Chains A and B, each alone.
Chain A
Amino acid sequence: MDFRFTAEQDEWREEVRAIIESLITPELEEEMQNNSDLGPGPAGKAFMRALGEKGLLGIPWEEKHGGLGRPLMDQYIFSEEIGRIGGLYTNSTAVNMVGPTITRVGTDEQQDEWIPKMLSGEVECALGYTEPGAGTDLAGLETRAVEDGDEFVINGQKMFTSAAHFSSHIWLLARTDPDAPKHRGLSVFLVPMDSPGITVRPLWRMDDGRTNEVFFDNVRIPRANQIGEPNRGWYHVAMALDFERVSLGGRYAGLLKRLNALVKYANETTANGAPLSQDPYVRGQFADLGIKLEVVRMFSYRTAWMIDQGQVPNYESSAQKIIATDLIQEIADFGVELLGMHGQLTKDSPHNRLDGELEQAYRSGIFLRFGGGANEVQRDIIARRGLGMPR
């Protein structure tokens, strides 16, 4: 076994690091200071387009789709380098989830139409899955898409539709066959957000970000915007979710940065006459979190390595999702605790510590444990798919 990167991979890392650094403008830095969760501003969008021009939005995509045709491990290395900077908006749903799905299930015409626009940053997608009555049990959703000549007519409501307020399209999962079993009557659509009949209303997150609810009132779209096989939408979406889980790998670098900042703080802060770092409780907590972070990294490499070997991860991407998302919260939790009374202060408070980042992280860390497939369900997958335990 060999756990090290090859010389080529090290070179690739240097290369993408240099590119990323060269693309960071003062305007972008200013924008990053002001909460990227609201979506990218003009500088963020320009940054995405520039990455696209360098081919860095489609690293593992096949060359015929405009990608670089490189191994997934190279995508990971890129994600780590993006994460190392922190605050950069690159979680493009179009590039990370929708595009890879279209390259597998879309017709040639659909691939020709959508892929270049996604790689250039022209098309960005919101994910339209969740509804008021359908969260974890997504297949129970009720939004309808009904054929009418050369068009589909869409009616219903989506919930928690992040990015809907700045995306060009919504990747919509809707029911096309109400008489089929619930997993077998769904199809996916790419719906332009400027279609008549769409209303977007903001929902404000407890971590200051924005998400939305989206209403569809007799929205008409061309039949060509139905992607993949009719009524196979559930399976296409499951594929896209797998891509999303894999893309969580890049969290390592951001978390390492956060942990290192906390180490520095503990070294430099005195409590009861000694550096915080010398408190045995503090040291033990740090070690546990640091070790878990290394596990996140190894689990990420494992999934990427398996895919590059042509294997299909079985339970491994679920394992990675659980470990990474639990840890995000644990680090934030310990971080606020370490900062003590000052830990509660927000980024706008002059007395805050570490820019109030931990306080914010504590609030936002809650989300990923149930979002993107609740961790309970990921554990089900490990038990059922991985260990063959019965329903």
Chain B
Amino acid sequence: MDLALTEAQEMLKNSAREFLERECPPSLVRAMEDDERGYPTHLWEQMAGLGWMGLAFPQEHGGEGGSLTDLAVLLEEMGRAMLPGPFFGTVVNVGLTILDAGSDFQIQQYIPRLASGALIGTAAMLEENAQYSQDGINMSGELSGDSLQLSGSKLFVESANTADLMLVPVRTSGSGEHGVTIALIPGTASGVSMSALESIARDRQYEVSFNSVSVPTEEILGGVGEGWPVLKRSLDRATALHCAVSVGGAQKVLEMTVEYTKQRVQFGRPIASFQSVQHDCADMVNAIDSARLATYQAIARLEDGLSADREIAMAKVLANHAYKWTTLTAQQLHGGIAFMEEYDLQMWTRRAKVAELKFGTSGPHREVFAQSMGLV
């Protein structure tokens, strides 16, 4: 057992925090909420220069050879800073999935460019039913000769406006786990169109429509009709790693709250000296620590190739609670000032709710955990 970050991970954490505090302050995040692109390209280039997009890819494919835990450490800092833009989609949803299941051709074609930040990726998985399961994939794909024709639409596609490469699971036959096929499609493919979705987080999400988009079969990931296991592994990784984003956000909100309550004086004393305020903060500590331990445990298991369904489900339930509840309690302890739009806290609060919805709310994850307990 070893519950500490390595020295290198500590360094990564500290340097990432320093960089993001400087280059991605809340004022930038705020500005990006109204920006058409959604993130500054110079920031993306700087991150590429630091090797962040390549962190978790093998050196032979142009990456840094880091582990999933390394990536989680970085994501925690990104969550803390509410980093806008396509990092998660590029690296986790697309990059790691291609690395996991791609053909040699696909890996050589895409990984080095994803790892260098030259290529931006996003996953277009969810549809109108918004289900993170095999049954949620209904958009049709038809094989004819050596190409696949896609028609239909996908929802909640993050950063589709800037994506060079989209990972799109469709149904080519059957139902349930069988017959899901994953296509890799250039963002500029003909027949692709999109319209923006307005969301509580004011981030860039889109409905993407596919009108007889044609994809050559060598761009199919994981085999025709064999896409579900690939997608399941991809979702598992993404779910666990996204918990790190939530933990980072929650931790920052806790620190802001402690700071604020120490300064805010009412009844002649700092409100931080009231026991009920302290107890709220103590409960935040426990919620965040629980989520963090569970998250790193889940990621460590994925890294070691062990079964992790139970651990991921637990991490997601705990992270959902930690982030959302920390922000709502923080709002309460700040009172009126933080209810004002110009106060930064509300940006975390809105994102925490989205983090809860993404990759499954606590209900379905509780169900996974309940099954792992042996409930029939």
- B366 nearest CB neighbor, chain A only: A287
Segment touching A, from B75-83, B173-181, B200-208, B271-279: B271-279
Q: Are A2 and B369 in contact (CB under 8 A)?
A: no
- A268 nearest CB neighbor, chain B only: B376
Q: A223 — which chain B residues lie within 8 A by C-beta?
A: none
Residue of A282, A287, A298, A319 with most chain B CB atoms under a 10 A cut-off: A287
Interface residues of B in 1-18 (CB under 8 A from A): 1-5
- A381 nearest CB neighbor, chain B only: B282
Question: A278 CA to B367 CA in the complex, in Å?
Answer: 11
Interface string of B351-374 (1 = CB under 8 A from A): 000000000000100110110111
Q: Are A1 and B294 in contact (CB under 8 A)?
A: no
Interface string of B298-320 (1 = CB under 8 A from A): 00110000000000011001100
Interface string of A352-390 (1 = CB under 8 A from B): 000000000000000000000000101110111011111
Question: A241 CA to B264 CA in the complex, in Å?
Answer: 34
> In the assembled complex, how far is the CB of residue A309 from the closest CB belonging to chain B, in whole angstroms?
8
Neighbour of B275 across the interface among A286, A380, A388, CB < 8 A? A380
- A284 nearest CB neighbor, chain B only: B366
Q: A301 — which chain B residues lie within 8 A by C-beta?
A: 1, 3
How many A-B pairs have beta carbons closer than 8 Å: the answer is: 143
> In the assembled complex, how far is the CB of residue B285 from the closest CB belonging to chain A, in whole angstroms?
5
Neighbour of B5 across the interface among A1, A282, A306, CB < 8 A? A1
Is A64's CB within 8 Å of the partner chain B?
A: no
Q: B229 — which chain A residues lie within 8 A by C-beta?
A: none
> In the assembled complex, how far is the CB of residue A342 from the closest CB belonging to chain B, in whole angstroms?
20
Question: A79 CA to B239 CA in the complex, in Å?
Answer: 34
Is B283's CB within 8 Å of the partner chain A?
A: yes
Question: A277 CA to B317 CA in the complex, in Å?
Answer: 20
Q: A388 — which chain B residues lie within 8 A by C-beta?
A: 258, 262
- B273 nearest CB neighbor, chain A only: A390
Q: Are B376 and A278 in contact (CB under 8 A)?
A: yes
Q: B2 — which chain A residues lie within 8 A by C-beta?
A: 1-2, 305
Q: Are B293 and A383 in contact (CB under 8 A)?
A: no
Q: Are B293 and A386 in contact (CB under 8 A)?
A: no
Q: Are B370 and A283 in contact (CB under 8 A)?
A: yes
Q: B277 — which chain A residues lie within 8 A by C-beta?
A: 389
Is B286's CB within 8 Å of the partner chain A?
A: yes
Interface string of A257-299 (1 = CB under 8 A from B): 0011001101100000001011000111011101100110011
For chain B, the count of residues having a C-beta within 8 Å of the partner chain is 43
Neighbour of A286 across the interface among B4, B289, B373, CB < 8 A? B373
User: If the complex has contacts A266-B375, A387-B281, are A2 and B366 also in contact, measured as CB distance less than 8 A?
Assistant: no
Q: Are A379 and B1 in contact (CB under 8 A)?
A: no
Q: B283 — which chain A residues lie within 8 A by C-beta?
A: 379
Is B326's CB within 8 Å of the partner chain A?
A: no
Q: A275 — which chain B residues lie within 8 A by C-beta?
A: 376
Q: Are B1 and A384 in contact (CB under 8 A)?
A: no
Neighbour of A291 across the interface among B261, B318, B375, CB < 8 A? B318
Q: Are B1 and A299 in contact (CB under 8 A)?
A: no
Q: Are B275 and A376 in contact (CB under 8 A)?
A: yes
Q: Are A294 and B294 in contact (CB under 8 A)?
A: yes
Segment touching B, from A3-11, A54-62, A88-96, A153-161: A3-11
Interface string of B3-42 (1 = CB under 8 A from A): 1110000000000000000000000000000000000000
Q: B301 — which chain A residues lie within 8 A by C-beta?
A: 3
- B296 nearest CB neighbor, chain A only: A1
> In the assembled complex, how far is the CB of residue B311 from the closest CB belonging to chain A, in whole angstroms?
8
Q: Are B285 and A298 in contact (CB under 8 A)?
A: no
Judged by DSSP, the binding face of B is: helix
Is B214's CB within 8 Å of the partner chain A?
A: no
Q: A295 — which chain B residues lie within 8 A by C-beta?
A: 290, 293-294, 318
- A308 nearest CB neighbor, chain B only: B1
Q: Are B1 and A3 in contact (CB under 8 A)?
A: yes
User: If the complex has contacts A1-B5, A260-B374, are A391 and B69 also in contact, measured as CB distance less than 8 A?
Assistant: no
Q: Are B375 and A283 in contact (CB under 8 A)?
A: yes
Is A16's CB within 8 Å of the partner chain B?
A: no
Q: Are A267 and B285 in contact (CB under 8 A)?
A: no
Is B49's CB within 8 Å of the partner chain A?
A: no
Q: A288 — which chain B residues lie within 8 A by C-beta?
A: 317, 366
Is B191's CB within 8 Å of the partner chain A?
A: no
- A298 nearest CB neighbor, chain B only: B293
Q: Are A294 and B279 in contact (CB under 8 A)?
A: no
Is B193's CB within 8 Å of the partner chain A?
A: no
Q: B282 — which chain A residues lie within 8 A by C-beta?
A: 315, 322, 378-380, 382-383, 386-387
Is A302's CB within 8 Å of the partner chain B?
A: yes
> In the assembled complex, how far is the CB of residue A172 from the closest CB belonging to chain B, in whole angstroms?
31
17 CB contacts below 8 A, A to B, read A3-B300, A6-B1, A282-B375, A283-B370, A286-B370, A290-B369, A291-B314, A294-B294, A298-B297, A305-B1, A323-B286, A379-B279, A379-B282, A387-B258, A387-B282, A389-B258, A389-B262
Could you list which residues of chain B lie within 8 angstroms of chain A, going by C-beta atoms?
A: 1-5, 69, 258, 261-262, 270, 272-273, 275, 277-279, 281-283, 285-286, 289-290, 293-294, 296-297, 300-301, 313-314, 317-318, 363, 366-367, 369-370, 372-376
Could you list which residues of chain A lie within 8 angstroms of chain B, going by C-beta atoms?
A: 1-6, 9, 73, 259-260, 263-264, 266-267, 275, 277-278, 282-284, 286-288, 290-291, 294-295, 298-299, 301-302, 305-306, 309, 315, 319, 322-323, 376, 378-380, 382-384, 386-391
9 new A-B contacts, CB < 8 A, other than A380-B278, A389-B258, are A1-B3, A1-B4, A6-B1, A267-B375, A287-B317, A299-B289, A305-B2, A378-B282, A388-B262
- 3 A-B pairs with the lowest CB-CB distances in the bound complex, closest first: A383-B278, A287-B366, A382-B282
